[in-house]
Structure 1
Amino acid sequence: MCGRFALTATPDQTTTFLGLDDIEPFPARYNIAPTQPITMVLSGAPKAPGSNRSDRSSLLVRWGLIPTWVKDTRQFPLLINARSESAAEKASFRTAMRHRRTLVPASGFYEWRQAGSRKGQAYWVRPRNGGIVAFAGLMETYAEPGGSEMDTGAIMTTAANPDIAHIHDRMPVVIHPEDFSRWLDCRSQEPRAVADLLRPVEEGFFEAIPVSDLVNKVANSGPEIQERFVAPAADLPGEPKPVKPARKKPGGDDADQMSLF
């Protein structure tokens, strides 16, 4: 699954990677959590004949997709992920899969190795060669009973590749730049035509770095949560214990997670 991720690239780096003309300025975000705003990129923006401008556009959406047919959001589960194997048939994702496929820029994501019923060791999973990655996403605009509209979205997942399988059995779907146009093209590319893109990324693409439990709390939102941390296998006499990164108080640029609600 994907329950936390980060986007620490600059707006210029993000626009270049995604083939956008521009994007709203944003701060580095180290601990993006469900219900917070996330950037999604769609295709199909109108452009003048002969224009060199991109037909892609970006917008902020609430992380947690709400289908248009939901009557009471309080009784509906938070859909932060969509299983790629069944999204085209599931009522919650079927329409978005056909009409509103998106890209979600990220610098990496966090995953936890389960320890019984509790979260165990946390990992920061990032591209081995650095840079930005694009996750496959789905978007839906939900009309609230009062008349206001809210853009919502989910990140698609697939079976974990060997780099991640020892931590968790699922991982986000990665769309490579050469496949951006085909994935975003909802006019001529039906879901079955892009099903081949919904596969685990190649082995060696990601590296998983153990980090401290600072990432467990959304209030911890600075770069220190990505620092390498390995818990001791046992408390051996005379063996120094690892020191956790210093906690930073919420506030300031690093803690700005831009909540919509």
Structure 2
Amino acid sequence: MCGRFALTEPSARLKEFLDVVEVEEFPPRYNIAPTQPILIVVAGERQQAGSNLPERKAMLVRWGFTPSWVKDPREFPLLINARAETAIGKASFRAAMRHRRILVPATGFYEWRRPPKGAKEKSQAYWIRPRKGSLVAFAGLMETWSSADGSEVDTGAILTTAANGAIGRIHDRMPVVIRQEDFSRWLDCKTQEPRDVADLFAAVEDDFFEAVPVSDRVNKVANTDPDIQSRVEEAAPLPPPKAKLADDDDGQLSLL
């Protein structure tokens, strides 16, 4: 699951990391929440100079995927995540998996370790960031929803996979990370079918991320200052790493 994330790098750094034509300036965002606009990258129509690869384009979409066939989004669940392993077989995501794969840049994400039912222990929030480098790109899907009056809304979701051993101590799902060398292959929906990029869905190695315990201030959307990423004392220590967990939920978000 990925229910909150952050993007705090300047546009110049994003442009270099993503190799996009242009990225507009925007302030650091420390607590990005569902329904808010998020920055994404898509394959453009024009080819890069001196290459047969398409240019990459950065744009904003609403975080909360709405399939094109939905008549009233108010009566449709908020899809902020899609299970990478089964998205191609789901009516909501099938078309986007084939035709509208995207990158979602981030500097990290937040996750919550929930205590067992009946336990007195409180939930513990974690700020999960790459150990090496300050930027990461999550796999995502995009869809443009059109209303009856002709207005359009671009929407997106982040793909998740079964957690690796380290993140599995906190939650059984984690975002799919696309490495820089795989950006073009993931975004290429013309020659790369979903089965051709399925190998990218594997969870990153256990030491890719580090998990920093943070306060429950991140639970509140209004808290958007850097202090929400400050380390706090854990309510209880994390258990030892465990093997990759079974993939047995339905991929829908249970909000905070």
Name the TM tier (shorter chain). Answer: 0.7 to 0.9
Aligned residue runs from structure 1 range 189-204, under 5 A: 189-204=192-207
> For the structure 1 residues 109 and 67, does the alpha-carbon distance in structure 2 shift closer, same or farther, using more than 3 Å as the test?
same
Distance in 1 between residues matched to 2:48 and 2:177, nearest whole Å: 31
Amino acid paired to 1:229: V
Tell me by how many angstroms 1:232 deviates: 5.3
Match of 1:135 among 132, 135, 138: 138
In 2, distance between residues paired with 1:129 and 1:82? 26
Structure 2 SS opposite 1:91? coil
Whether the 8 Å CA contact 2:100–2:189 is kept in 1: the answer is yes
Give the letter for the 1:219 counterpart. Answer: A
Residue 188 (structure 1) aligned to one of 188, 191, 202: 191
The equivalences for 1:112-191 within 5 A come to 112-116=112-116, 120-191=123-194
SS in 2 for 1:123: strand
In structure 2, what is the equivalent of residue 255 of structure 1?
A: none
Note the C-alpha offset of 1:45. Answer: 2.6
Q: Which runs of 5+ in 1 are unaligned?
A: 234-261
Whether the 8 Å contact between 2:122 and 2:235 is mirrored in structure 1 is no
2:134 match: secondary structure? coil
Q: How far apart are the structure 1 equivalents of 2:87 and 2:235?
A: 41
Deviation at 1:24, TM superposition (A): 1.2
How many residues get paired?
A: 233
The Cα shift of 1:163 comes to 1.6
- The DSSP-based 3-state class of the residue aligned with 2:42 is strand
* Cα drift, residue 214 of structure 1: 0.6
Deviations 1:140-170 (A, max 9, x none): 0000122100000000000001120010000
Contact 2:43 2:56 in 1 (8 A): yes
1:100 touches 1:140 (CA, 8 Å); kept in 2? yes
Inter-partner Cα distance in structure 2 for 1:68 and 1:232: 43
Task: Work out whether residues 20 and 54 of structure 1, in 8 Å CA contact, stay in contact via their aligned partners in 2.
Answer: no
Cα RMSD for the two superposed structures: 1.8
Letter in 1 for 2:178: I
Checking the alignment, whether the CA contact within 8 Å between 1:45 and 1:57 is kept in structure 2 is: no
Quick one: distance in 2 between partners of 1:161 and 1:38? 25
Shift of 1:48: 7.8
Distance 1:77 1:122, change over 3 A: same
Counterpart in 1 of 2:9? Answer: 9
* Separation in 2, partners of 1:195, 1:230: 38
- 1:93: which partner in 2? 93
Distance 1:14 1:193 in 2: 27
Partner of 2:223: 220
- What are the superposed Cα offsets for residues 6-58 of structure 1, whole Å, 9 maximum, x if unpaired? 00111011110001121111110000000000011011332487589961001
- Separation of aligned partners in 1, 2:35 and 2:122: 21
Q: Give the Cα separation in 2 of the matches to 1:232 and 1:226.
A: 16
The answer to whether the Cα contact below 8 Å between 1:112 and 1:119 also exists between their aligned partners in 2 is no
Contact 1:19 / 1:54 at 8 angstroms: preserved in 2? no
User: 2:43 and 2:75 mapped to 1: Cα distance?
Assistant: 32
